[in-house]
Amino acid sequence: MQFKDIIGHRTIKAHLVQTVKDNRVSHAQLFLGPEGSGSLALALAYAQYINCEKPSENDSCGTCSSCRKYQRLIHPDLHFSYPFFASGEKDVATTYLDVWRTAFLENPYMGLDYWRHQLEAGNKQANINIAEAHDIIKKLSLKAFEGKYKVLVMWLPEYLQTQGNALLKLIEEPPEKTLFILVSENQDSILNTIISRTQLVKIPKFSPGDVKQYLITERAISEDRAQEIAFIADGSVQTAIDLLDEDTHPYFDLLINWLRFIVTDSGLNIIRFCEEDFPRLGRENQKIFLLYTINVLRQVLLTQTGLSQLVLLKGQELDFVQKFSENFKSEQLEPAIGLLEKTHYKVERNANPKILFLDLSLQLVLIFKYQTFPQGTQYI
């Protein structure tokens, strides 16, 4: 994986390259970024650049022996750790290494659900067990075979839990020329004792333009379709990839009709929507519709705060955003977005869609029609 293979993140790439040039490579680093932000791909590109035999000014050469092995994920001094869905306590990450290599090479922006699907794990709980922690200690206690650095890339260390205490001494005082790169999506779920021993590198989500360009060049889809998916994906390439597998639906028309019934408190029409229209979408398209609605309302907030230059929508959607921003306040939009996010979370967990969307609709009626809010609810 070379930096040039990763979309966007020019500033992050330049920073990582400069740390190598200045000989300021911290032995333990935490790459923190949301799912689909390319943080895992950046970690691999960084490790490849560090071990490249003929690095260029801004990237690894891609042709030396080290680079060729890194590109196939078979370098003897490159090690991986990641959550898996073990059926036995003795399973370790290398048990699933062939599947991991294939999954990453096919999709370097992958998320946990994508990885779960590769292992056909169903609803099993992800974990990095104590056997894996001990295996890491064993692997990194050996001398480097041929590279400048031994590198361990640990994806999603938040699944390490208390087993991570076994690695504290190794992270704090590793063998010479040993590099830990932890790639996380949720800093709050990582042991504080691990965070305190790492140098933080924050990876932002991609811009919609980056995601759109990826879809056009790498997935060969039309510009209009790429624009629509990039808007809904909200900076996550993994979400964009997931959306490619779903049917195209007129989400804007559905949203307009639904909101019209909500702001007029048209009870019978709301019930019909929740009994017929939303269940007909299916679970995945219900999730997409909710993401679309959340992003549209965020565009309304941007318009209200004088940041119209950041609004991504065009045509009818832009007209709607401008009109909606004139009629409703941020005090209404923010709790509405919070409700939509909670509903999306519950749809992912297979809640009954008829009950879920009816409850959501009635709470939105209170917000947009009567400007009152259910008591005791934390929206944001």
Strands (E), the chain: 28-32, 78-81, 150-155, 178-184, 199-202
pLDDT at 88: 65
Whether the predicted model's global pTM rises above the 0.85 cut: no
pLDDT at 380: 35
pLDDT in tens, 313-337: 888 888 999 999 999 998 999 999 9
pLDDT at 247: 61
Domain boundaries, the chain: 3-204, 246-368
Q: Residue 154 pairs with which residues in a beta bridge?
A: 81, 182
pLDDT in tens, 164-205: 888 998 888 888 899 999 999 999 888 888 899 999 999 999
Describe the chain by its helix, strand, coil percentages, rounded to 5: 60, 5, 35
Count CB-CB contacts under 10 A for residue 74: 11
Total H helices, total E strands in the chain = 18, 5
Q: CATH assignment of 3-204, given 3.40.50.720, 3.40.50.300, 3.40.630.30, 3.40.640.10?
A: 3.40.50.300
Residue 252 to residue 258: CA distance in whole angstroms? 10
pLDDT at 270: 95
pLDDT at 366: 93
User: What CATH architecture applies to the domain 246-368?
Assistant: Up-down Bundle (1.20)
What values do phi and psi take at 150, rounded to 5? -85, 135
pLDDT at 374: 57
Residue 121 to residue 139: CA distance in whole angstroms? 26
* Nearest to 201, CA basis, from 47, 73, 66: 47
Q: Which residues contact 278 (CB under 8 A, 6 or more apart)?
A: 286, 289, 353, 354, 357
pLDDT at 378: 41
**Segments in the chain below pLDDT 50:** 376-380
